[in-house]
Amino acid sequence: MATSKGPVIVVTGTPGTGKSTLAQMLASESPIVLRHINVGELVKEKKLYEEYDDDWQSYTVDEDKLLDELELIVADGGVILDWHTCDIFPERWPDLVVVLRCDHTIVWERLEKRGYPLKKIQENNEAEIMQVVLEDARSSYPAEIVVELQSQTTEDLESNVTRIIGWIEAWKNDHPA
């Protein structure tokens, strides 16, 4: 029986929780080759959106086009999908869903440094307080594949990478080539 090249890991969380940093570190330190896909960048690069919203300074994603674009990539496995939401992805895709959490005051500061408009900072800050991404993940995927990790400090980041690498090692042992 053929096996995929590697697991499909979704790294999600409110903007400013450290998703891209974690995903990049995972891709570079993983014991198996994992391709990091920043979904937001892919949307822009491949024009997988309906329009640009000036008020929110963001694109309105065409979810059908996005899922079509990702389907073949995900089918091969060995990928880290890095995006601020996860419930759009079919339940069959991920082997692991990592939800990064961060104190809302830290999220606020990080988004301010990025130059986000106040309205967008407030909305994302509220989403973090209300655990919106975590609840979406828990309602979209089996409980055993959803992991909530704190992501406030460099120590958290390093610990999270180590923990996920341990998970990848276990996955690799359970899925011999």
Binding residues for ATP: 16, 18-21, 114
* Feature table: binding site: 16, 18-21, 114
Question: What is the spatial distance between Cα 117 and Cα 129, in angstroms, rounded to a whole number?
Answer: 19
46 to 50, 66, 146, 169: CA distances (angstroms):
12, 9, 29, 33
Element (H, E) at 6: none
Sign for the CA dihedral angle at 122, 15, 61, 56 comes to positive
**What pairs with residue 99 in β-bridges?**
12, 148
